[in-house]
Structure 1
Amino acid sequence: MSAAFPLSTTAGPSTLPDALLQQLQGLDGHALWWLSGYTAGLAHRGGAGDVASLPAPALANTAQNPRISIVFGSQTGNAQRVAENMDQRLREVGLSTRLLRADAYPQRELKDESYLIIVISTQGEGDPPDDARGFVEYLQGPRAPKLPNLRYAILGLGDSSYPLYCEVGKQVDARLGELGGQRWLPRADADVDIDSIATPWLQEVTARARELLAESPTRTATVTPLHPRTTVAAHDKQNPFVAEILQNQRISGRDSERDIRHIELSLEGSGLHYTAGDALGVWPRNPWSLVEAIIDMLGVEASDEIEHSGKRHPLGVWLRDHRELTRLTRPFLVAHAERASSEELDALLAAAPAQLSDLFATHQVIDVLQRWPATWTANDFIAVLRVLTPRIYSIASSQDAVGDEAHITVSHLAYQHQGEDRWGAASHDLAGLAVGERARVFIEHNPRFSLPADTSRDILMIGPGVGVAPFRGFLQSRIAGGGVGRNWLFFGNRHAHSEFLYQSEWQPLIKAGQLKLDLAFSRDMIRGIDGQHQPAGPKYVQDCLLARGEEVHAWLEGGAHLYVCGDATHMARDVHAALTLIMQRHGGLDAEAAQAQLDALQTQGRYARDVY
């Protein structure tokens, strides 16, 4: 059996000042556990940076001094942000808390918890985020303890354009109840407009916490927090920067069915900063032709003034700038079914999630209006539609190389439904912007998808299609920084001649020995000696991985970091399955041990995924 992958590269203990050693000796087991997680995070980032002073986790958990544990599972950082906000609020009122990522939560302590708050997102088709998969599996498994003394609260994050909306939060909520836990307050499910649900829920949690504090006053200490303080930018999601388009170029071939764009935006004067692996949030506008078509179906006027939630706009402005038209949500479908009196639609809403998933994938709001006619008032229509939210694109550049610019790779979603044109809101908006025009943007930081602080570490990057975008930024950053670590990219698409994205940029890097590249083109065929057509090479990136399995395993054993970006539904699962096979074949592990090895890599920050 192969040796386990290294957890650390340090050779031995460093000398600590006597005063610090005395302080460490005074800590109990909980405090030492927390400190170990904090220092491990610093080691991964390469240093403490600018840190703030915050109340420490209160460590005793007794009837006289109850502690609230806050656990988050987050893929893109939203659940973490909410959990950190909650932690700060509870500390400010004087409560004893500890904040833990789900994969750092000591499962053996669950049976001793008195108060547990979980903030957890749902990915894709009802899956937990990567950092919470083990935690959720433990809760659902036979080793989960009975919890008669637990009071808990769950905030689920999700996207109502998916049928299994907030499914993980619902499952965790139900399971804790099955284990004997008592709900401290009802579960809340937050859509992509997170704060509209999370903010009042946090206020309710704080109110309940004040009641608890009145019963059992405690005190807090002050220590270094889990995360470095970050400078608050003048521009953010609610106050986006209006960025000028510097370049908007189609990089797929003219004979490709896909219109894939490389777009460069100026951040000059914004004060915005990003690191390789971060994302650019873009606020879209719905196509005006779509807005007009919906208004015609409603039988109203675009200029009609509509007031909702304290805001007043013409109906056309509501639909163009403030409401989701290109993605369905279950609340809209339920409300429409009540008005449409359609047995077909009622049956779909009652059907298995897979059938509803097909409807979500193939229909927009206008398609539902056309297929199942119903009468809507403009006010009711605006009230039930989901708020338009920004689209998130992996940044395909590094500021080390491009300065005050951000580059993104956009696949323009355009198709026909029943003979009518349909588009994705943001991709269509972006594809139509000319040089000199502007888009509203902000930076979405993604610290769990970042380069290793040690630039001598090797990296493996798996990014088919537009999933290659962040790895362009990775390579720019690595080369600009003069790192000596090796870079290996697995890229795939349908056709080499028309969809080999950034080919002209990869070739010089290969010649310079700065990049190792493996390719898979799923629809490129050659005629075999039997006259039958067969793939010209590996079809998918997972095929490349398996073909290179021995070398991939050797890189990982040598401490390489592994990154996956792209489709969550199929590609990411197939790649994960291929990695599991590689661990078995070349590491001498059984399936369970291979999965445990990959889990360990994720916990160490050496296996990161940005999937959607």
Structure 2
Amino acid sequence: MENKKLTILYGSQTGTAQDIAEKLWQEGKCYDFYGPVLAMDDYDIQNLIKESYVVFICSTTGQGDEPDNMKNFWKFLLRKNLPSNSLQNLKYAVLGLGDSSYIKYNFCAKKLYKRLLQLGAEPLVEPGYADDQHDLGIDAVVYPWISGFWIKMSQFSSGIKQEFKLHLFPPRWLITIANDKIHPTDENLKLIDLKQNNSAQVSCIGNDRVTSRTHFQDTRLIKFTSENLHYTSGDVLMIRPRNSIKTVQQFFDIFSERKNEIKEDVIIRVIEKYPDMPVPFALQKPVKLRTIVEQYWDLNMVPRRSTFELLSHFTDSELEREKLIEFTSTAGQEELYNYCNRPRRTILEVLVDFPYATANIPLNYFFELFQPIRPRAFSIASSFKNISVIMIGPGTGIAPFRSYVHEIFCKSDSKKLHVVFGCRNKNADFYFKEEWLNLQKKEKIQLYTAFSRDQSYKIYVQHIIKNNGRIMHDLITKENAYIFVAGNSKNMPDAVREAFISVYSTFHETDLNESEKVFRKMELDGRYQTETWS
């Protein structure tokens, strides 16, 4: 009898690795595989020696760190007393999700792959290292890797075909319309167990726009208070947003022809279908569809390739089906990127563009079509003792440094902080202008600014670094300064790093290769850190 157990474990910080793990689990159901899909820390690691096939999908966070939900799992694997043959019966595969703008790119997946090998496990396929910076995003690696994985698994199990993507994968749960009465207190979905997390409901006490009313970009300072939320500098604040009233209404307008089942006051029940895919905590009680639409499904998500694959099974328009299948093909990835990712087209916009598929999506597949809203991470600036610090924060990248500057401001013995800020327009984008200028007047900070649209030529933060090269070099070499970079992940981090290397090379009279080694060591030592977002 074939061994049809496949265990899928993930380490996920923002939910992407979890989403991919669950999609892989669904594909396995098409071939009668069974087994859990779990966060690594939710899995009993003592059972790893009994497993035959395990897939590990993990992201890398921060400066090469493991996601929070695999830290205990990883700590156990690092035990020195584990025999080198303890996992000799295990065949495994590793898929990593990373961002090559960080120095420790896919560091977590690389460490995991190597450690499993040291413990005697046998790789099924070469590890996959997906890069968020790729033109096609992580899908450029994820889909080919998954395809190769199933081809390999066909050697161990019959019934797996290379054209597996043509299957309509089964839904995770069964959805029924209920007649239950919902108590008003159930209208706020509790997505997490407050007893097991440092979590709390907060009250918004301020929502102030910091950009000019005439400026197209609406950037806001949001203030909140809570009696139960405890944090210190260096923590990360995870905020779970809701969809706007306008977006929620757009959802119901799209499905207005299906008033019998897709209407605001319909009460639905989510029922477990497979023991290894339990219903999430937030959905274990009957709940109004509007509540799910408003608080659970991410209506602003940019659909992934799997979304178009799913829609292709439901359309009764041959023209739509051809386009959807093209988007799922290898040859159609560039066109898919131009249609979907480049303009940041949302799932609701896609549904409008493919009305025949939209009209036929079974209610059971709505949780496959829409992903859960993922919490957004916001840094609470780390606190350091009396050290020199250079902070590079163009645009909203300045936000993580503001609380740190205020904390240091209260310490009379602190060294002067060096803040490099850049934006397009001095009058529209210079957030907290008076505040920063006041701190500089009090000689608590040295402020360097770059306004790219206010000069006859474009000037960015990397130019400010070069223009003040002697100061930057002396801070790094004579005061052992720490460098922190925050902001958009596209081009800025590389440009800033190259500027520092150039400055060091010029004033230290060394070649660029030697300067590169210096900054690589600073990164490994934590003296040069980046925190970026797309």
1:581 is displaced (CA, Å) by 2.3
Within the candidate set 184, 203, 213, 1:254 is matched to 213
Q: What is the match of residue 240 of structure 2? A: 283
Deviations 1:206-245 (A, max 9, x none): xxxxxxxxxxxxxxxxxxxxxxxxxxx9958967311112
1:95 is displaced (CA, Å) by 6.4
Counting only pairs closer than 5 Å after superposition, residues 424-439 of structure 1 correspond to structure 2 as none
- Please state whether the residue corresponding to 1:325 is helix, strand or coil: coil
- In structure 2, C-alpha distance between the alignment counterparts of 1:368 and 1:164, rounded to whole Å: 19
Q: What is the match of residue 43 of structure 2? A: none
- In structure 2, C-alpha distance between the alignment counterparts of 1:552 and 1:175, rounded to whole Å: 48
1:522 is displaced (CA, Å) by 1.5
Counting only pairs closer than 5 Å after superposition, residues 23-422 of structure 1 correspond to structure 2 as 73-75=60-62, 79-88=66-75, 96=82, 120-123=96-99, 127=100, 129-132=102-105, 151=122, 163-165=136-138, 240-267=199-226, 269-275=227-233, 277-298=234-255, 299=257, 300=259, 301-308=263-270, 310=279, 311=283, 312-330=286-304, 331-340=306-315, 341=318, 342=320, 343-350=322-329, 351-352=332-333, 356=337, 359-360=340-341, 361-374=343-356, 375=359, 376-395=361-380
Residue 545 (structure 1) aligned with residue 530 (structure 2): no
The answer (yes or no) to whether the contact 1:494–1:524 under 8 Å persists in 2 is: yes
- How many residue pairs match? The answer is 398
- Please state whether the residue corresponding to 1:380 is helix, strand or coil: helix
- In structure 2, C-alpha distance between the alignment counterparts of 1:541 and 1:333, rounded to whole Å: 40
1:255 is displaced (CA, Å) by 2.0
Within the candidate set 383, 391, 407, 1:461 is matched to 391
Residue 574 (structure 1) aligned with residue 495 (structure 2): yes
- In structure 1, C-alpha distance between the alignment counterparts of 2:143 and 2:379, rounded to whole Å: 29
1:306 is displaced (CA, Å) by 2.9
Deviations 1:35-69 (A, max 9, x none): xxxxxxxxxxxxxxxxxxxxxxxxxxxxxxxxxxx
The answer (yes or no) to whether the contact 1:306–1:378 under 8 Å persists in 2 is: no
1:386 is displaced (CA, Å) by 0.9
The 3 A distance-change label for structure 1 pair 249 and 75 is same
The 3 A distance-change label for structure 1 pair 593 and 165 is same
The answer (yes or no) to whether the contact 1:245–1:264 under 8 Å persists in 2 is: yes
Percent identity of the aligned residues? 19
1:545 is displaced (CA, Å) by 1.2
Q: Which moved more, 1:321-330 or 1:294-303?
A: 294-303
The 3 A distance-change label for structure 1 pair 160 and 523 is closer
In structure 2, give the amino acid aligned to 1:329: P
1:347 is displaced (CA, Å) by 3.1
- Please state whether the residue corresponding to 2:207 is helix, strand or coil: strand
1:456 is displaced (CA, Å) by 2.6
1:519 is displaced (CA, Å) by 0.7
Deviations 1:308-365 (A, max 9, x none): 3543322222211111110123222321233345233433443345851661243111
Q: What is the match of residue 593 of structure 1? A: 514
Q: What is the match of residue 475 of structure 2? A: 555
- In structure 1, C-alpha distance between the alignment counterparts of 2:118 and 2:145, rounded to whole Å: 13
Counting only pairs closer than 5 Å after superposition, residues 493-512 of structure 1 correspond to structure 2 as 493-512=423-442
Deviations 1:181-215 (A, max 9, x none): xx9xxxxxxxxxxxxx9xxxxxxxxxxxxxxxxxx
- In structure 1, C-alpha distance between the alignment counterparts of 2:62 and 2:215, rounded to whole Å: 32
- Ranked by relative contact order (alpha carbons within 8 Å, sequence separation 6 or more), the top structure is 1
1:555 is displaced (CA, Å) by 1.1
The answer (yes or no) to whether the contact 1:72–1:83 under 8 Å persists in 2 is: no
The answer (yes or no) to whether the contact 2:97–2:131 under 8 Å persists in 1 is: yes
1:266 is displaced (CA, Å) by 1.0
- Please state whether the residue corresponding to 1:130 is helix, strand or coil: coil
In structure 2, give the amino acid aligned to 1:335: L
- In structure 1, C-alpha distance between the alignment counterparts of 2:110 and 2:335, rounded to whole Å: 23
Q: What is the match of residue 531 of structure 2? A: 610
- In structure 2, C-alpha distance between the alignment counterparts of 1:138 and 1:175, rounded to whole Å: 22
Q: What is the match of residue 167 of structure 2? A: none
Deviations 1:141-194 (A, max 9, x none): xxxxx9997635979899899953377789999999xxxxxx9xxxxxxxxxxx
The answer (yes or no) to whether the contact 1:545–1:579 under 8 Å persists in 2 is: yes
The answer (yes or no) to whether the contact 1:564–1:610 under 8 Å persists in 2 is: yes
Q: What is the match of residue 228 of structure 1? A: none
Counting only pairs closer than 5 Å after superposition, residues 452-531 of structure 1 correspond to structure 2 as 452=384, 455-525=385-455
- In structure 2, C-alpha distance between the alignment counterparts of 1:382 and 1:173, rounded to whole Å: 22
TM-score by structure 1 length?
Answer: 0.56
The answer (yes or no) to whether the contact 1:494–1:523 under 8 Å persists in 2 is: yes
- In structure 1, C-alpha distance between the alignment counterparts of 2:141 and 2:417, rounded to whole Å: 35
1:270 is displaced (CA, Å) by 1.0
In structure 2, give the amino acid aligned to 1:373: P
- In structure 1, C-alpha distance between the alignment counterparts of 2:59 and 2:214, rounded to whole Å: 46
- In structure 2, C-alpha distance between the alignment counterparts of 1:588 and 1:236, rounded to whole Å: 57
Deviations 1:111-147 (A, max 9, x none): xxx9999785423xxx2743347899999xxxxxx99
The 3 A distance-change label for structure 1 pair 514 and 589 is same
The answer (yes or no) to whether the contact 1:74–1:121 under 8 Å persists in 2 is: no
The 3 A distance-change label for structure 1 pair 238 and 462 is same
The answer (yes or no) to whether the contact 2:60–2:107 under 8 Å persists in 1 is: no
The 3 A distance-change label for structure 1 pair 470 and 131 is same
In structure 2, give the amino acid aligned to 1:281: M
In structure 2, give the amino acid aligned to 1:381: F
- In structure 1, C-alpha distance between the alignment counterparts of 2:470 and 2:139, rounded to whole Å: 39
- In structure 2, C-alpha distance between the alignment counterparts of 1:337 and 1:95, rounded to whole Å: 51
1:608 is displaced (CA, Å) by 0.8
Deviations 1:259-296 (A, max 9, x none): 111111113x2141120x43322111112332222223
The answer (yes or no) to whether the contact 2:308–2:325 under 8 Å persists in 1 is: no
The 3 A distance-change label for structure 1 pair 148 and 393 is closer
In structure 2, give the amino acid aligned to 1:607: Y
Q: What is the match of residue 531 of structure 1? A: none
- Please state whether the residue corresponding to 2:489 is helix, strand or coil: coil
The answer (yes or no) to whether the contact 2:63–2:104 under 8 Å persists in 1 is: no
- In structure 1, C-alpha distance between the alignment counterparts of 2:367 and 2:147, rounded to whole Å: 33
- Please state whether the residue corresponding to 1:334 is helix, strand or coil: helix
The 3 A distance-change label for structure 1 pair 164 and 97 is farther
Deviations 1:520-569 (A, max 9, x none): 111114xxxxxxxx23xx62111111212232122111200000001001
The answer (yes or no) to whether the contact 2:199–2:229 under 8 Å persists in 1 is: no
> Gaps (5+ residues) in structure 1?
1-69, 99-113, 140-145, 177-182, 184-196, 198-232, 399-449, 526-533
- In structure 2, C-alpha distance between the alignment counterparts of 1:353 and 1:122, rounded to whole Å: 21
- In structure 2, C-alpha distance between the alignment counterparts of 1:363 and 1:132, rounded to whole Å: 28
The answer (yes or no) to whether the contact 1:303–1:314 under 8 Å persists in 2 is: yes
- Please state whether the residue corresponding to 2:104 is helix, strand or coil: helix
The 3 A distance-change label for structure 1 pair 368 and 354 is closer
1:249 is displaced (CA, Å) by 1.2
The 3 A distance-change label for structure 1 pair 509 and 97 is farther
In structure 2, give the amino acid aligned to 1:272: H
